[in-house]
Structure 1
Amino acid sequence: MRSEDTLANIDVAVLAGGLGTRIRGVLGDTPKVLAPVAGRAFLGHLLDYLSNHGSRRVVLCLGHLADRVTAWLARGDSAGAMDVVCQIEPEPLGTAGALGYVRKELRSGTILVMNGDTFLDADLRAFVASHRLSGAEASVLCVTVEDAARYGRVEVGADSRIHRFVEKAPGTGTINAGVYLFSAAFLDRVIAQGAVSLERDVLEKAPPGTLHAHVAKARFIDIGTPESLAAAGGVIGGRDA
């Protein structure tokens, strides 16, 4: 499998409907997914990353300030030859609820889901291969960070299965990087359960050993706070260095 073919037959859902309350003081009326990072909108970096892995179809799960995102896309700032579909939720539905709202647009047997406010330069080819070999219906892309204080840790066994999610604690740790591969059947069960939060209602409640973990060696950043947004350019802007 070549990198440019990795996502050729996998639809991608990008969760980008959050309110961005923690960085509203910095961004004002700019939606978080359009935050300027390394000279361009954050969403442009995400779409280029997906395009470089062969993505052909991306569904943006939008909400707050969605009109700004659709206007940005209409200017043709990014996305190349990809089919980018915008779905705007009528009210905040949560990360799992948003997937239910856009389910009709996700047509592939395997679906890649990713947060719209995080970035890591992981090799998605390795993630997809690992998911397929595992035989699991759901896989979580994980990464080890020096300071896991802001994130819940993930305990991964020797079998590459997630044994449990642990409360936030300082120090080096392996975390959920906010990128997932789900079978269509798994996603349908999540939606049927009426889950609101993908993280709390689905992943953290999954029986131990249900979820496959692929721990990538990659640089990771989220843009959820003013401090992390300010640092994002150093990760994204220097990833080809």
Structure 2
Amino acid sequence: MKPESTLAGVDVAVLAGGLGTRISAVLGDTPKVLAPVAGRAFLGHLLDRLAGFGARRVVLCLGHRAGRVTAWLARGDFDGSLDIVCRIEPEPLGTAGALGHARGALRSDPVLVMNGDTFVDADLGAFVAAHRASQAEASLLCVEVEDAGRYGRVEVDAGGRIRRFVEKAPGRGTVNAGMYLVSAAFLDHAAAAGAVSLERDVLERAPAGTLHAHVVQARFLDIGTPESLAMAGHVMARTDA
């Protein structure tokens, strides 16, 4: 599959409604997804990368300061081939709640779900192929990092299935990169259950062996802290090189 057709026919849901409390002292009233990175909004980098893999339709799950994001979209600082749909939550609903609120706008099966504050320089074509081969209702893109202390670990068995999620602990480990391929049935189940957190209420409660993990060696960025945001420009520059 060519990179430019990898996500053809796959809707992408970007979770971009978080409060960003850990970096509010740095960003002020700027939403986290609009954090300036390498000369432009972080969201612009994400959208252009999705377009590069053939995405055509992106649903932005917005909440906190959504008006700032929609105003940025109106300026058009991203790949113009994308059809952008905004779903604004009426109150903080959590990551699973935001997906439930946007469920009617997500038409494909599977759907690619991603956090709006993380970036992973991975081959999404390989991720899609691995997900389809696994026949799992949900697959997580996972990366190996030098220090898993911030994120918690994902334990994966020899067949690529997730055994369990474990507490944060320092040292090298495999972590959730904040990108998922999920079936329509999986989304419907999460919405019907009234889940709030996609991570805690849905993924971590799934029976062992039901979720698939696609583990890659790739550059991974989470802009959720002042320290990681300060490093973001360097990471993106290396990715663009």
Q: Give the alignment's TM-score, normalised by structure 2.
A: 0.99
Q: Structure 2: which amino acid aligns with 1:184?
A: A
Q: CA deviation at 1:216?
A: 1.3
In structure 1, the partner of 2:235 is: 235
For residues 76 and 240 of structure 1, what CA distance do their matches in structure 2 show?
20
For residues 172 and 78 of structure 1, what CA distance do their matches in structure 2 show?
35
Partner of 1:227, secondary structure, is helix
In structure 1, the partner of 2:2 is: 2
Q: CA deviation at 1:225?
A: 0.4
In structure 2, the partner of 1:12 is: 12
For residues 83 and 166 of structure 2, what CA distance do their matches in structure 1 show?
37
Q: CA deviation at 1:66?
A: 0.5
In structure 2, the partner of 1:28 is: 28
In structure 2, the partner of 1:40 is: 40
Q: CA deviation at 1:240?
A: 3.1
Deviations 1:63-107 (A, max 9, x none): 011101000000111132110011110000000000000000000
1:110 partnered with 2:120: no
For residues 40 and 60 of structure 2, what CA distance do their matches in structure 1 show?
18
For residues 30 and 186 of structure 1, what CA distance do their matches in structure 2 show?
33
For residues 4 and 238 of structure 1, what CA distance do their matches in structure 2 show?
21
In structure 1, the partner of 2:141 is: 141
In structure 2, the partner of 1:94 is: 94
Count the aligned residue pairs: 241
1:184 partnered with 2:184: yes
For residues 160 and 138 of structure 1, what CA distance do their matches in structure 2 show?
12
Identity %: 76
In structure 2, the partner of 1:221 is: 221
For residues 135 and 78 of structure 1, what CA distance do their matches in structure 2 show?
33
Q: Give the alignment's TM-score, normalised by structure 1.
A: 0.99
For residues 233 and 211 of structure 1, what CA distance do their matches in structure 2 show?
33
Q: Which runs of 5+ in 1 are unaligned?
A: none
Partner of 1:169, secondary structure, is coil
In structure 1, the partner of 2:65 is: 65
Q: 1:151-162, aligned counterparts within 5 Å?
A: 151-162=151-162
Q: Which runs of 4+ in 1 moved over 6 A?
A: none
For residues 159 and 206 of structure 2, what CA distance do their matches in structure 1 show?
16
Q: Which runs of 5+ in 2 are unaligned?
A: none
Q: Structure 2: which amino acid aligns with 1:18?
A: G
